[in-house]
Amino acid sequence: MNLQDGLFGSELGWLVPWAIALLLNSGLAIVAVLAPKKLLTPAGLFHAWVLGVLIWGILGWQGYAVVMFYFLVGSGATQIGLAQKEAAGIAEKRSGARGPENVWGSALTGTLCALATLVAPPAYREFLLLGYVASLSTKLSDTCASEVGKAYGQRTFLITTLQPVPRGTEGAISLEGTLAGVVGSLAIALVGWGVGLISLWGIGWCVLAAFIATNLESLIGATLQSRLSWLTNEVVNGINTLLGAIAAILFALAFKL
């Protein structure tokens, strides 16, 4: 009999990760409230708490490590050159503090992949875990590419025409931003591999999927976003992460067959 069974009984063992999730995320929420620098709005903090509880409860510390890595690095990327971006009017609103729309725009796809592992046959679990990591890898790629490009992009081009455009233009890309995006996607894929959620091959699928999805997001931004009022940045982020997850899973399936 292991310690968990001895303390809670085998029938109640499933409660342990959820209890840890509630305690850990509640503690972190208190720290966030007291911290002088606000990375989340009050509503954003509550939704992040829900997200954190779900991810730890379902995927344990391994899944939590990946989403926490995304949040910390993504928040840090938003602060790069913030004063310069604010002066140019191209900074994220609220000085980068995340609201509910940002939380779920970034993590809804990953959360759905995590939830699906509860009901999917065991043979599909590895693909859902890959989709989970790939969705966050894609979002971090997008965040790093956008924030570094806006801060340090020397030459920015519209993805549809490759004509020079000002920094911060929807659909604009830069060499600096693109490289930062690749580094961001690789970093979070390495975390996913390091905690055992994906295979070594999965690192490559995540990076490749993130690159494709991030460029498709730029294409959407350059062609459709200004024409469709419902196509907000958060909706586009959701599409972006979904494309990244699907692409990574398709790559894995194609090379597994």
- Tens digits of residue pLDDT in 99-146: 899 999 999 999 999 999 999 999 999 999 999 999 999 999 999 999
Question: 255 or 135, which is more confident?
Answer: 135
- 98 CB contacts (<8 Å, ≥6 apart)? 39, 40, 41, 44, 48, 75
Residue 152 in tokens:
């340090």
In the chain, what percentage of residues exceed pLDDT 90? 65
Q: For the chain, which residues make up each domain, given as ranges?
A: 3-256
pLDDT at 226: 78
Q: What are the start-end ranges of the H helices in the chain?
A: 3-8, 15-34, 42-78, 82-88, 100-116, 122-152, 175-194, 200-223, 233-256
Rounded to the nearest angstrom, the gap between the alpha carbon of residue 197 and the centroid of all alpha carbons in its chain is 15
Angle, nearest 10°, between helix axes 122-152 and 233-256? 130
Give burial (CB, 10 Å; 0-12/13-18/19+) of 39: buried
What is the value of pTM for the model shown?
A: 0.90
